[in-house]
A and B are shown apart, each in its own frame.
Chain A
Amino acid sequence: MRRDLEIAANFINPDARVLDLGCGSGELLQYLGHSKNVTGYGIEKDHEEITACISKGVNVIEHDLDEGLDRFPKDSFDMVLLTETLQAIQAPHKLLHQMLDIGIECIVTFPNFGHWACRLQLVSQGKMPIAKHLPHNWFDTPNIHLCTFLDFEELCSNDGIRIIERFVADRDYNDGPLIKRWPNLFGKTAFYRLGRAL
Chain B
Amino acid sequence: MIYPDDSVGLVKPQLHQFNDDLVLSSGQILSEWHLAYETYGVLNKSRSNAVLICHALSGHHHAAGYHTETDAKPGWWDTAIGPGKPIDTNHFFVISVNNLGGCHGSTGPTSINPETKEIYGPNFPAVTVKDWVRSQALLADHLGIDKFSAIIGGSLGGMQALQWTIDYPIRVEHAVLIACTPKLSAQNIAFNEIARLAISSDPNFRAGNYHKYGVNPDQGLGIARMLGHVTYLSDDAMRDKFGRELKSGDLNQARDVEFQVESYLHYQAESFSKRFDANSYILITKVLDYFDPAREFNDELISCLKTARSKFLVVSFTTDWRFSPKRSKEIVDALIAANKQVVSTTIESPHGHDSFLLPIDRYFQVLQTYMSQIYRDLIK
Q: Which residues of A contact B (CB under 8 A)?
A: 17, 41, 47, 50-51, 53-55, 57, 59-62, 71-73, 76
A73 to B338, CA, bound (A): 11
Q: Say whether B329 faces chain A, with CB atoms less than 8 Å apart.
A: yes
Closest to A53 in B: B343
Of the listed stretches B6-14, B218-226, B364-372, chain A binds B364-372
Q: Say whether B240 faces chain A, with CB atoms less than 8 Å apart.
A: no
A59 engages B333 (CB within 8 Å) = no
Closest to A72 in B: B336
Q: Say whether B263 faces chain A, with CB atoms less than 8 Å apart.
A: no
Q: Say whether B362 faces chain A, with CB atoms less than 8 Å apart.
A: yes
A53 to B344, CA, bound (A): 11
**Nearest CB in chain B: distance from A34 CB, A:** 14
19 A-B Cβ contacts within 8 A? Answer: A41-B342, A50-B366, A51-B365, A51-B369, A54-B313, A54-B343, A54-B369, A55-B373, A59-B342, A60-B344, A60-B345, A61-B336, A61-B343, A62-B344, A71-B333, A71-B336, A72-B333, A72-B336, A76-B337
Determine the chain A residues whose CB is within 8 A of the CB of B329 once the complex forms.
71
Q: Say whether B341 faces chain A, with CB atoms less than 8 Å apart.
A: yes
Given contacts A61-B332, A71-B333, A76-B337, are A54 and B344 in contact (CB under 8 A)?
A: no
Residues B328-380 near A (CB distance < 8 A): 329, 332-333, 336-337, 339, 341-346, 362, 365-366, 369-370, 372-373, 377
A54 engages B342 (CB within 8 Å) = no
Determine the chain B residues whose CB is within 8 A of the CB of A54 once the complex forms.
313, 343, 366, 369-370, 373
A158 to B367, CA, bound (A): 46
Determine the chain B residues whose CB is within 8 A of the CB of A62 once the complex forms.
344-346
B362 engages A41 (CB within 8 Å) = no
**A-B contacts besides A54-B373, A73-B337, A76-B337, 9 pairs, CB < 8 Å:** A17-B339, A41-B336, A41-B342, A54-B369, A61-B332, A61-B343, A61-B344, A72-B333, A72-B337
**Nearest CB in chain B: distance from A14 CB, A:** 17
**Nearest CB in chain A: distance from B281 CB, A:** 34
- Residue from A51, A62, A73 with most neighbouring chain B CB atoms (10 Å): A62
Closest to B370 in A: A54
Determine the chain B residues whose CB is within 8 A of the CB of A72 once the complex forms.
333, 336-337
Determine the chain B residues whose CB is within 8 A of the CB of A50 once the complex forms.
345, 366
The A interface is mostly helix, strand or loop, or mixed, namely: mixed
A71 to B342, CA, bound (A): 15
**Nearest CB in chain A: distance from B331 CB, A:** 12
**Nearest CB in chain A: distance from B364 CB, A:** 11
A121 to B333, CA, bound (A): 46
**Nearest CB in chain B: distance from A18 CB, A:** 12
Closest to B313 in A: A54
Given contacts A55-B369, A62-B345, A71-B329, are A47 and B336 in contact (CB under 8 A)?
A: no
Closest to B347 in A: A47
Closest to B362 in A: A47
Determine the chain A residues whose CB is within 8 A of the CB of B346 once the complex forms.
62
A60 engages B343 (CB within 8 Å) = yes
Contact mask for chain B residues 312-328; partner A; CB cutoff 8 A; 1 contact, 0 none: 01000000000000000
Selected from A47, A55, A57, A76, the residue in CB contact (under 8 A) with B345 is: A47
A58 to B333, CA, bound (A): 17
Determine the chain B residues whose CB is within 8 A of the CB of A55 once the complex forms.
369, 372-373
**Nearest CB in chain A: distance from B36 CB, A:** 33
**Nearest CB in chain A: distance from B240 CB, A:** 22
A61 to B313, CA, bound (A): 10
Determine the chain A residues whose CB is within 8 A of the CB of B373 once the complex forms.
54-55, 57
**Nearest CB in chain A: distance from B157 CB, A:** 21
A71 to B328, CA, bound (A): 13
**Nearest CB in chain B: distance from A134 CB, A:** 30
A17 to B344, CA, bound (A): 18
Determine the chain A residues whose CB is within 8 A of the CB of B332 once the complex forms.
61
Residues B153-193 near A (CB distance < 8 A): none
